[in-house]
Amino acid sequence: MDISPDHPRYKSLVIREKMSKLSDQGIVARTGLIAHGRGEAFDYLIGEKTTPAAKHAEEAIAAYLLEAQNPVITINGNAAALCAEELLKLASEVGAKVEVNIFHWSSERLEKLVSYLETFGNFEILGRNQNAVLENIASDRARCCREGIYSADVVLIPLEDGDRAKALKIAGKTVLAIDLNPLSRTSVESDATAVDEITRAVPNIRQAVKDLKDDQKRRREIISAFDNRSNLNESVNCIKDNLTQQQIF
Ligand code: PTJ
């Protein structure tokens, strides 16, 4: 489909087309398109920009990743379609492993996603050999890699469902999320949630990694001062403010 760059929602339409194509290829789950729509709706409500609260959470996520002993970034169909290259760059900058972990599970889809990520360069992608099971999770999403998610101390889970965020917490991990919905179980369960669109959030986290790389004292201060619940409240307040300012009639 030809999309005119003059269209006021050009970027959104281009991304939708890409998601749709990758859904045909089996990279994005069909319900991933619905999840994307929910994300777009929340992005509208927060004003389609990084809020000060999101910036603050992105700094905390960078600090947690740099302080981790064994960080892992998990990638599902939506995250791969929207932000693969940036997520892989972030992983190499913080020394994190990358593991494909999907909700709509089939060995064929897992292979497709791992192979898709491998086309972005010389990155090691975990996921083909799921030899461990995360407890307290009912779906196939419990399958994971012993050398990846299973043994990680800090896990970044972009665009995740709430069950898995909770299971990772119960397993004693520090959970970092990117989720446009400040009310989602994932957002609430996590230790730090960036309520931001993934393609804005990941470059911001990468910038914060650059800024904090050589400053462990500052990283520790950021982590100890960060309160996810009050940060989420700030995002909710931002939505409220946006709505009260938009008096259409
Ligand atoms: O590839 P799979 O099989 O692992 O499936 C992936 C999806 C995303 C379908 C699966 O994890 C799922 O169903 O997720 P949920 O429960 O719909 O949660 C996804 C969350 O991501 C929702 O809270 C959305 O608001 C949020 N979201 C969607 N698009 C974006 C987003 N957050 C940030 N940036 C986005 N572009």
Amino acid 133: pLDDT: 94
Residues with CB under 6 A from ligand 1: 29, 31-32, 35-36, 38-39, 42, 76-78, 82, 102-104, 159-161, 178-181, 184, 197-198
Q: Is residue 45 part of a domain?
A: no
Q: How many domains does the chain have?
A: 1
Q: What is the dihedral of CA 166, 100, 160, 203, to 10 degrees?
A: 120
Do the domain assignments include residue 32? Answer: no
pLDDT given at position 247: 66
For atom 1 of ligand 1, the residue with the nearest CA is: 77
Question: Is 36 part of any domain?
Answer: no
- 83 inside domain: yes
Buried b (16+ CB within 10 A) or exposed e, 192-208: bbbbbbbebbbbbbbeb
Residue 200 is assigned to a ligand binding site = no
- Identify whether 35 is part of a domain: no
* Domain-located, residue 118: yes
Residue 3 inside a domain? The answer is no
User: pTM of the entire structure?
Assistant: 0.96
Determine, yes or no, domain membership for 248: no
Q: How far is the CA of 38 from the centre of ligand 1 (A)?
A: 8
CATH at 191: 3.40.50.12640
What average pLDDT values come out for the chain (249 residues) when binned by 10 residues?
A: 79 93 96 97 95 98 98 98 98 98 94 97 94 90 94 96 90 97 96 98 98 98 98 97 79
